[in-house]
Structure 1
């Protein structure tokens, strides 16, 4: 049985895309850049904030423009009430049950640690995540496996005893680079092509399907 479940955050245990799009489009508009549609955001999500800004600006992604939009977004998002950002239905119950079973829980995301911890404190305060590895400029972001490897070392868990649960191709690549098993969820922001990737163990329909791997 697996001992460690490493979860992606956005699109896997937390539904945050609506507020991200609202705030990001405000940041683009305020600075005179074209806004993007939901479908366009889905195509460019998965990387860290710098990659998202660069892709959203397209051919106008100069260092100056990127810094301008990123700073504006950070300010707008930081002061937003983020009323549309909520846990996916059923995820809290699944995490509680895994915790009761003695499974170690962790988060690996390209969202900043402080932001992750704020949401965890508000909605998952009774879940003891043993490690949280978010975006840190000092380390390469997903799909590089730095965060996963740090977790395995910290928690003294072998690669065979860990499983990565995410929603996108970035998560599949992260798991593959870390040489651990991967499961993809269908309720997130991934592409249907991700659901048939040869590397994954399965693509699941609902949070309770996670129990199949424990």
Structure 2
């Protein structure tokens, strides 16, 4: 099927934000008088939404605090750290410009809280490329459930099979495979324990500009 739209994950696909997310986690741990953890450790926790991230951090620290007790502190730090040092991955701007020149509609489907996405995109000067944004709290479901991808395809007015998902994790892969949306995976993101070479994907790419060669 001809590619009629492209749907991007955000963190780990377009933007390297692991340092900022790690700082938010560590400030939350500071509030609880708990030891900080490495950015590499937090990077391995990213991808399934903020509540799962904080749950994992609390479990790792062995602390007996409820999620509802800790989330307000984490969300305050997450807002404060959002624009601390995010960076676009190499080739992102050029790739988005090329897709726009092909008149392909684009959207974001991320597990990041929806209120945090527009300021991040604006800060990085890529907000103009995306017709729609689906965040982790936009629907009752979030990735790896298929509904966010199905919903964004409907917003774009395109069949699910005609949209191409671009992501970096097992969360993205499962959501796309379940929704019936083809997916291209990037090697440079927050892949965690995903075996990229065994993934059911259209392609696995080393840099985002390679995506242009896989637009049907």
Structure 1 and Structure 2 fold alike (TM over 0.5): yes
Change beyond 3 A, Cα 1:120–1:82: closer
CA distance in 2, matches of 1:40, 1:7: 24
1:168-213: per-residue Cα shift (whole Å, max 9, x none)?
1111011111111111101211147431134111110111101012
Instruction: Note the C-alpha offset of 1:44.
Output: 1.9
- Do the aligned partners of 1:46 and 1:168 also contact (CA within 8 Å) in 2? yes
Counting matched residue pairs gives: 213
1:124-175: per-residue Cα shift (whole Å, max 9, x none)?
3563312110011751111011111111112221122111100111110111
Which residue in the other structure is 2:178 paired with?
Answer: 177
| RMSD of aligned residue pairs (Cα, Å) | 2.0
TM-score, normalised on structure 1?
Answer: 0.91
The aligned runs of 1:22-33 (5 Å cut-off) are 22-33=23-34
Unaligned runs of 5+ in 2: none
CA distance in 2, matches of 1:134, 1:150: 11
- Do the aligned partners of 2:165 and 2:182 also contact (CA within 8 Å) in 1? yes
Instruction: Note the C-alpha offset of 1:80.
Output: 3.4
CA distance in 2, matches of 1:43, 1:146: 24
1:76 aligns with 2:77: yes
Unaligned runs of 5+ in 1: none
Instruction: Note the C-alpha offset of 1:81.
Output: 6.6
Change beyond 3 A, Cα 1:92–1:48: same
CA distance in 1, matches of 2:192, 2:123: 29
1:59-109: per-residue Cα shift (whole Å, max 9, x none)?
7576x5322332112112323373321211210111011011011101100
Which residue in the other structure is 1:86 paired with?
Answer: 87
